[in-house]
Structure 1
């Protein structure tokens, strides 16, 4: 088996390779997506008080620790976050975790974890475990949170980020050729060569699926949320504690829910921050597009108020730039990669997005004038953070009912009209996983007697807002009590941007008591 790619610039060295044997197998072709009813409601449902049990005890402090080492400067340099605030300490470590803890596979791989602390963080406080799933490295999310001015949670307890398999500081995989990877990130804009574009993306998906399955067999399906939850359990065992508290951001909420299903007795606090909804791939993609368009509106309004370089109508200027890129007017820069740069800024976990509005405006305005150096830098950074081979495998494994080309063709037209900036490319991107085998089994808990705090942003470009009700509804059906805190700003996740939301998290982590459902936090 080929060796995993090393990352010499990453804060955690990759040292182990997945042990695998080869079995025969091919990627399954796309199939028609049946209608799926998204489970709605529940976000504002009253909670009966007569049957409530007292909240579980606060998680204990670890009795043992992995071998931490300082990685403050290397991590902040890697993610382009500048100098560390006074007193911030980032420490990195590796854990060796089994490929399949249930004994259905063999071998092990290296998982990367990172701990953030401030000088005032109590040494004996129980850590909060953070997972961002496969939409971005958990370590990147934590680094963005840690440098911001809103740090009540970090002042109260350490936060430990656990990078998912193949993501961030965990053992990387390299299974897709450079040409195939570029074709997928560009939605085949320059690789169709006269062929039908949708067919070209499906062919790229088949090539990526075949090469990754060959590389990972027989463990190609162990990159799902279930195995990610098993990896979190390994951290609890290293700490030698009975329970942990989890913060799942974005797609990481699904990992946290999988942990709640598999290890409910070892979970005493659960915060879902801007959680990805529960539904099929098309539904979730539309929720993301809605959030991205809302975040772009918020950005454009602030940009116009600052008399930024995009002129009096920044949204129109950005729409035109994306259109020009789609028509080949920006040379070799594809429309989808322009949108990657924009969504990367809008969804950054850095808390200083409003003050950096003019930065993005200057870069996009320069690209419109023919100077694409700044835009290319943003594109490359975003692709490195969100489009690795491990993230491709994780997203495809987690996805439910990817739509067929005939459906995507209809969506392409429909979303182009409804969501003029992000819609068309988002529809095309649904075909990237068309050939990946369909996963089996549910990840949501069937029974959970736990108060769960949910944070939701009104303009979230990573997960959108409308999927929150499907998550709270599912939790309430499992018996959990839920409370939603609504943040009125734009960005992802909420806890990286809102001091108000972090205060709610601090109170919940300490007491286990939920704030009033529907609590609003200002932008």
Structure 2
């Protein structure tokens, strides 16, 4: 294993330009030179101010695959933190207690992606992957963010047709026109504002951070450790900015650009960069001799074949019963492409669809998320992205941006810079976005794949710069979305585990080569 220290975490001589159908994210040689995050390895003192008591019990209605050790509770938090004695909502919280109480460090809160991702069963998922040394020391904590799942939920009251996966992303028309996107964005804004109720109007990353601190208080923890993934890295960075005194060991995995002038508008735009970074990995795999899902003879031919088929399906869709819409069109293919790049394990999904579009395979059996789940996810996503920051309102401006992006990033066809419901949201955000900065304890570890399609390396570098000396960053020469315990890179995994167990981070930013 080789670890290289870098000041900007960019590997020398490596070109950084080298799963999501249902729509909504892992050292043998330890570093000789390390720094301590808080200079603490003993368990934290137990005396801590406590919020409302949590009453733990079975996780009823939590779905299948729940670890039998996982317990659940509910917590009442203010609907509006400016009115702490006003109306309240409920958060669903879960935990798996530390396996070795004598070694217990504290709580490790798992922060889900999204916006709109459920996190209630993340302790069960994490317990299957985390090393025993981490399970021994932490209570694993999960939660459904406000508006999500078993917390007080929200819905926009949309029709089945509105919930098509292709509507999750604003794909332009085949000719690049955005008229239909504008109409749908207006429709979605009107429906969400009319049907979402008071909870939807309080959705924001800052309020999720406040909810996190309410959970910390209810757990009786003076400080809490956190493991945020994807959009959860932005939540974690905002929490560490708003409540730095309450952070212990913070791991941010697959990192978002925290640009406070754009927030989620910038995160969406970054898909254009991330897909271009990542698609070559798929193209190389899909051109390998002996691959039963081989698409073409060379990576260049794979890219050309994808673009050609997307264009053909724009004009001549293929019936695909059981999907929504019931056809394979160009934007359905683009949506599957976007989702299949998250993990190498999902590459066959895209290859099979490309082969089916050519008539070389039958269309696969569709996997469709339940309408209720999509309804909830879409409502929380819309409420959050529109509640975080104001978006431009010029339709002409979006049209110009789409036209330019279709030229520079043809794989994503202009979608990442297209209009969203926030352009027509009836109210402005109630507070400005949190500006993530470098003030606070030096206790944050970022881990990032070089070729991440959803949260690209360039955005992670910006978060690293904004956090300054508060953070160190481990860059892994790998592709896909999510890093820690997701890619089989022992170098990156062991550096994160070392930090969670001992508090020691790399002294400088580090690079882990491909394995």
TM-score by length of 1: 0.74
Q: Choose which of 470, 489, 497 in structure 2 pairs with 1:481.
A: 470
Question: Residue 496 of structure 2 corresponds to which residue in structure 1?
Answer: 505
Check if 1:341 corresponds to 2:336.
yes
Q: Specify whether residues 187 and 504 from structure 1 end up closer, same or farther in structure 2 by C-alpha distance, changes over 3 A only.
A: same
1:487-506 C-alpha deviation (Å, 9 max, x unpaired): 11122221241443332222
1:56-91 C-alpha deviation (Å, 9 max, x unpaired): 666749897541425799344xxxxxxx8xx88554
Q: Distance in 1 between matches of 2:56 and 2:462?
A: 39
State the secondary structure of the residue aligned to 2:457: coil
Q: Distance in 1 between matches of 2:124 and 2:393?
A: 35
Aligned counterparts, 1:62-461, within 5 A: 66-69=55-58, 74-76=63-65, 90-103=70-83, 106-115=86-95, 124-135=104-115, 136-139=117-120, 146-148=127-129, 153-154=134-135, 157-178=138-159, 179-182=161-164, 184-185=167-168, 187=170, 197-279=177-259, 280=262, 281-305=264-288, 307-312=291-296, 313-331=301-319, 332-347=327-342, 353-355=343-345, 357-369=347-359, 374=364, 376-377=366-367, 384=374, 387-399=377-389, 401-402=391-392, 404-428=394-418, 430-436=419-425, 437-439=427-429, 440-445=431-436, 447-461=439-453
Check if 1:462 corresponds to 2:451.
no
State the secondary structure of the residue aligned to 2:226: strand
State the secondary structure of the residue aligned to 2:444: strand
State the secondary structure of the residue aligned to 2:287: helix
> How far is the alpha carbon of 1:224 from its aligned partner?
0.3
State the secondary structure of the residue aligned to 1:441: coil
Q: Distance in 2 between matches of 1:59 and 1:216?
A: 43
Q: Distance in 2 between matches of 1:386 and 1:141?
A: 18
> How far is the alpha carbon of 1:143 from its aligned partner?
6.0
Q: Distance in 2 between matches of 1:514 and 1:443?
A: 26
Structure 1, unaligned runs of 5 or more: 1-41, 77-83, 348-352
User: Does the aligned pair in 1 maintain the 2:313–2:328 contact within 8 Å?
Assistant: yes
Return 224-233 or 147-156, whichever deviates more.
147-156
TM-score by length of 2: 0.75
Tell me the C-alpha RMSD between the 2 structures.
Answer: 4.1
Structure 2, unaligned runs of 5 or more: 1-6, 11-32, 48-52, 320-326
> How far is the alpha carbon of 1:356 from its aligned partner?
5.2
1:88-133 C-alpha deviation (Å, 9 max, x unpaired): 8554443332212331783222323344579789884523111124
Q: Distance in 2 between matches of 1:396 and 1:198?
A: 20
Structure with the greater relative contact order (CA < 8 A, sep ≥ 6): 1 or 2? Answer: 2
State the secondary structure of the residue aligned to 2:141: strand
Q: Distance in 2 between matches of 1:328 and 1:338?
A: 13
Q: Specify whether residues 433 and 507 from structure 1 end up closer, same or farther in structure 2 by C-alpha distance, changes over 3 A only.
A: same
> How far is the alpha carbon of 1:222 from its aligned partner?
1.4
